[in-house]
Amino acid sequence: MACLPSPAILVFICMLALVPLVHSVPFIVLHGIGDKCSSRGVAKFTELLSNWSGSQGYCVEIGDGGWDSWTMPLLEQTAIACEKVKNISELSEGYNIVGLSQGTVIGRGVVEWCDGAPPVKNFISLAGIHAGIASIPFCRSEWFCILVDALVKLEVYSDYVQEHLAPSGYIKIPTDISGYLKGCKFLPKLNNEINNTRNSTYKERFSSLDNLVLIMFEQDTVLVPKETSWFGYFPDGAFDPILPAQETLLYTEDWIGLKILDEAGKVKFINVSGGHLQISQSDMKEYIVPYLEDQASIQMMRRETSSYEWLSSMWNFLLELVGFTEDQPLLRTMD
């Protein structure tokens, strides 16, 4: 007569049936202008998010980091990020993006334009430049500021400036919209602004995000206006007032799918205290980490009580099947 399997084996088999085949969703970090993945701040930021969320984080470097972030055209930076994402095998089943300032628009470029890339699930934007800015962001050395000013005076929408100064790709002068649409090489394409060249694929890909988290910094003086982090901006032709995202044409005509996401409750407009990218660890834990955690594991934890009750009943049934009772010790000792 065949032997019955031991209770431990039977229970183990039952427990396997409860465990879903899940994996932790990794994330990438795209840093801001003048920074690099190896800098203390970015490295620590990535490490903390990885530790707190339990998901593997990768900082994606473009070129040499600091210098190239200023001088390499954003279309080229985005293309490099696209290829790097496709070559990280751990991202192949999907990943999340955490973008910092200039890194937010590069990240959106990856979402909208990167053919053959794995799907992006959650997009977390810190101090994003989504609707553009009306002035060049800060530079950290006096001689470089002089160079930047000289380039801008050559006309920000000229081919030369567009090819040699990355921020020129998202400078949007409200009183020169025709020059912007004609000469700016990056943001008009990213935001699907040019009427006769709008691409439905960009909208389809962007609106497929599970969540779009837009974090604006209340004391941000680097981005003008700071509301660009929420897709807010000046009206065409004037520097006043600042329109909320919902009153811009990008939203009302839904050029990129922002309205679709918002009406589905997938856009989180978050305002935190601090200057540009000055985020506290408590705000990181509250506003970023939840969108990096393994959601499948969280759902399993929520079902823990009901699963335990089911498993307890199955356990008692198996014990009775093989001749054990609840008051019979499983471990026997010899005198």
Residues that are catalytic: 101, 220, 276
Q: Which tokens hold the place of 171? A: 């400078």
Nearest CA among 111, 100, 102, 104 for reference residue 44: 100
Which contacts (CB < 8 Å, 24+ apart) does range 187-194 have?
A: 187/105, 187/132, 189/75, 190/105, 190/108, 190/109, 190/112, 190/256, 191/130, 191/131, 191/250, 191/255, 191/256, 192/250, 192/255, 192/256, 193/250, 193/255
Write phi, then psi, for 214 (nearest 5 degrees): -110, 110
Helices (H), the chain: 7-18, 40-53, 66-71, 74-87, 102-113, 142-153, 159-164, 177-183, 187-190, 200-206, 249-252, 258-263, 281-287, 295-302, 304-321
Tokens of 126: 């810190």
Residues in the chain: 335
- Report d(CA 55, CA 23) in Å as an integer: 9
Helical packing angle, 304-321 and 295-302, nearest 10°? 60
